[in-house]
Amino acid sequence: MRVKRLLRLVAAAGLVALVAVGGVTVVTLRGSLPRLDGQVPVAGLSGPVTVSRDDLGCPTVVAATRADLAYATGYLHAQDRFFQMDLMRRVAAGELSALFGPAALPSDRERRLFRLRSRAAAVVASLPSQDRLLIDRYVAGVNAGLEALGVRPFEYVVLGQAPVPWRAEDSFLTGWAMYFSLQGHFNRKLGRAWLRDHATAAQLAFLLPASTRFDAPLDGTAVDEPAAPVPDAAPDWFGRSRAGGIQGRVDEPVPSGNVGSNNWALAGTRSLHGAAIVSNDMHLGLQLPANWYRAVLSWPGEDGVPRRLTGVTLPGLPALIAGSNGHVAWGFTNSYADTIDLILLERDPADARRFRLGEGWAPVTSVVEHIDVKGQAGEDLVIEETPLGPVRRMAGRDYAVHWIGAGADAINLGLMAFEQARDVGRLLDAANRAGLPAQNIVAGDRNGHIGWSIAGPLPGRRWTTAAGFPYPSSDPAPGWRGLRKASDYPRIEDPAGGALWTANSRQIAGSAYDLIGDGGPDLGARTHQIMDDLKELGARSDEKAVYAIALDDRARFLAPWRDRALAVLTDNVVAGHPERAEFRRLLREDWSGRAEPASVGYRLAHDFLSAYYAELFGGLDDALAKDGVGVTLRSITARWPAVAERLADSQPAGWLPNGRANWQQVGVAAVDAAIADLTRDGEVLAKATWGSRNTAHIAHPFTRFAPWLRAVLAAPPDPLPGDVNMPRVAMASFGQSERMVVAPGHEDLGIFNMPGGQSGHPLSPYFLAGYEDWVAGRATPLLPGPERHRLVFVTE
């Protein structure tokens, strides 16, 4: 009895200790919650600044000057999102190892190659006085907000680190982090070169089409390049079995290559109120906190007329990224412009410090960058640099990486000029001069005009097929040597149909596309569906009708692949194979024509296509991996489904995968692979719903190395409607990072939601505020609701 009593006492003491530790932890964590009410004295303000928050924590900030507004924005960003900001600057500068230790060294080595911290410092040193004032006030606000927290943000408590104060160059590094996310596809051209070296010219033209039937150019015309004929024979690598068989390829999460954002605009001639309506849902990796920080920012302009910005900001920058200034609204999608050259270096046999450049020789210099590493001695990284860019070793060879993102004009505060634009034309002018990763910008103004162009720097060349591959340093002709003039940018304003749309695919038909270049655009199925949705809106529409396009989960792209699966599952094929018969039955009976969570038919059609990819290209992906190329066919070209469908429908004998007697066997093998994958853990096909695969996995980065933290640092694992190749892009941790519809001058009718709340703090009521609306696709108001909290910055 004494032993049992002793054990009970020990257990009770342990529980008390655990509760005590938990209580201390909660109290500690609460110390890093942002301040929501009261007064904060600040030196250097021109007047009071009020911050009103609604039930979702969305701030409305009213200031006397734009500089005061920048200070308040920085303060809010730091209090709600400092760790997120810190990761962004470290990702760009290659400084993660100082925070996380040696596990982050591979990433740091890759990013440090471009020495972006020193480039950012040079940008700061050259800023015009007004821009420097705004950045300095923003930085002061960030550091004041960080210092005002009673306890450092909880992430630093867990890591045993102290946050490093914000510096002016860090704001520009935040922009460079987006460059890596949107343009950092350095190995794609290596993959194209591998294909070129392992295929005939005719085979290459077929495998890498410049356009397909899915394209939906902005001017409404068809892309006029004829499809390359199917060659008589396939390359030797085609149709080879993957190592270990097909199984595993079915689990590829993305059946297309690039799925980065939708936007569209409806002209005033087609809206109920006469103003243009702009919609934007930017697709990014989803985690907590959310990518964007929603805000309304207001101040009197220099002319005394009130200014109001409504939309999303990016923690780390004082500018509005997308939204409305009351006169013009705008949104972005990634343009997939070709902004990278890979130059194969031919070194001087007598002096490795020189390489051939055209007819002469150019120097290779060395720079040493020191990488701090938490918990151990740092590392000195020797970087070789050439006049064309730093040297990167890829697939066993040395290349100079000539990337527009590493140039002096890659980043500026050009976004701030959007705030002053009063019409579409002037906003597009500002966009052409802005320093940001080259984006499609679609805009509309309160007078009903709409327009599209490219925001951000473009290489000053006309893109050619040769530019799509690495080239030797002895032949610099395909490369670019300067930036395209803003006056030479492509632009479309007020098209006859009264609508514009982009979704990462080819934007323009004909040779005009050469002004942008093929940097790996999306297939175009999503773009085409958006274009058709806009046509179906009718003569006059409102914001809710425009918003509904973002939720379109109709399976227009996948439906033909369902039909192909059914076509191979003939009575003879399913006879004696009950699982094939069940696969066919579910494809027929459990198909709503949408990517709905409850749909089994959609899941089966999706996995059939993934397995079909493995039949055709799985062996290629193995070969690319074996040769160290670092990409798959999916990342080389998102147009592969157009190639696959041409093969599936024309069934050329010279392209049969190894071991298949006919094309029906190819389809049956894909069905069997999908079945094997779906039932490998004892599951039955009837329970293989789309939602059981497409389940939200949106969490704080800490959950990657501490999964037990998901209970407090993750969104619920909700089944998600949508998929790639349709407007409602949704995957487990990638998708619509916000949905916004707004007409300038009618912001009260606008719509907004995003997959996470304003705060990055798990104890904040705003950590997940709005997430449920995003999952359900509810059309919640863009403007904040009634005031629940008020914080006032007063002059000290």
**pLDDT tens-digit map of 87-112:** 999 999 999 999 999 999 999 999 99
Whole-number average pLDDT of the chain: 92
> For the chain, how long is the longest CA-to-CA vector?
94
Does pLDDT of 483 surpass 60? yes
Handedness of CA 544, 545, 549, 553 (dihedral sign): positive
List for the chain the helix, strand, coil content (%; round to 5): 40, 20, 40
**pLDDT tens-digit map of 513-530:** 999 999 999 999 999 999
Does pLDDT of 256 surpass 60? no
What pLDDT band is residue 681 in, cutting at 50, 70 and 90? Answer: confident
**pLDDT tens-digit map of 384-431:** 999 999 999 999 999 999 999 999 899 999 999 999 999 999 999 999
Residue 289, preceding peptide bond in cis (omega within 30° of 0): yes
Does pLDDT of 23 surpass 50? no
**pLDDT tens-digit map of 160-209:** 999 999 999 999 999 999 999 999 889 999 999 999 999 999 999 999 99
**pLDDT tens-digit map of 773-791:** 999 999 999 999 999 999 9
Interval 764-780 mean pLDDT: 97
Cα separation, 279 vs 544, whole angstroms:
11
Q: Which two tokens stand for residue 465?
A: 């097929």
**Given the DSSP bridges, would you call strands 351-357 and 347-348 parallel, antiparallel or unpaired?**
antiparallel
Q: Give pLDDT, residue 26.
A: 62
The residue count of the chain comes to: 796
Which of 67-71, 357-361, 639-643 shows the lowest mean pLDDT across its residues?
Answer: 357-361
Tracing tokens 């951000």 back to the chain, one arrives at 456
Residues 371-404 as b/e (b if ≥16 CB within 10 A, e otherwise) read bebbeeeebebebbbbebbbbbebeeebbbbbbb
Q: What percent of the chain clears pLDDT 90, i.e. is strictly above it?
A: 87
Q: Are 611 and 250 in contact, with CB atoms under 8 Å apart?
A: yes
Q: Give pLDDT, residue 1.
A: 37
Interval 124-144 mean pLDDT: 97
Cα separation, 753 vs 449, whole angstroms:
25
**pLDDT tens-digit map of 560-618:** 999 999 999 999 999 999 999 999 999 999 999 999 999 999 999 999 999 999 999 99
**pLDDT tens-digit map of 56-85:** 999 999 999 999 999 999 999 999 999 999
**pLDDT tens-digit map of 429-477:** 999 999 999 999 999 999 999 999 999 999 999 898 889 999 999 987 8
Q: What is residue 277's DSSP assignment?
A: E
Interval 543-549 mean pLDDT: 98
Cα separation, 287 vs 780, whole angstroms:
21
**pLDDT tens-digit map of 628-637:** 999 999 999 9
Cα-based torsion angle of the residue sequence 424, 425, 427, 433 in order, rounded to the nearest 10 degrees: 150
Q: Give pLDDT, residue 242.
A: 63
CB-based contacts of 477, cutoff 8 Å, min separation 6: 466, 471
Which of 160-169, 235-244, 279-288, 653-662 shows the lowest mean pLDDT across its residues?
Answer: 235-244
Q: Give pLDDT, residue 16.
A: 35
Q: Give pLDDT, residue 552.
A: 98
Tracing tokens 């193995």 back to the chain, one arrives at 622
Does pLDDT of 257 surpass 50? no
Which of the pair, 559 or 243, is modelled with greater confidence?
Answer: 559
Interval 307-312 mean pLDDT: 97
Q: What percent of the chain clears pLDDT 70, i.e. is strictly above it?
A: 94
Q: Which of 319, 267, 256 is nearest to 292 (CA)?
A: 319
β-bridge partners, 262: 281
- Measured CA distances, 264 to 93, 278, 404, 572, 637 (Å): 34, 6, 27, 48, 24
pTM of the model: 0.94
Q: Give pLDDT, residue 302.
A: 77
Does pLDDT of 252 surpass 70? no
Does pLDDT of 223 surpass 70? no
Cα separation, 346 vs 108, whole angstroms:
27
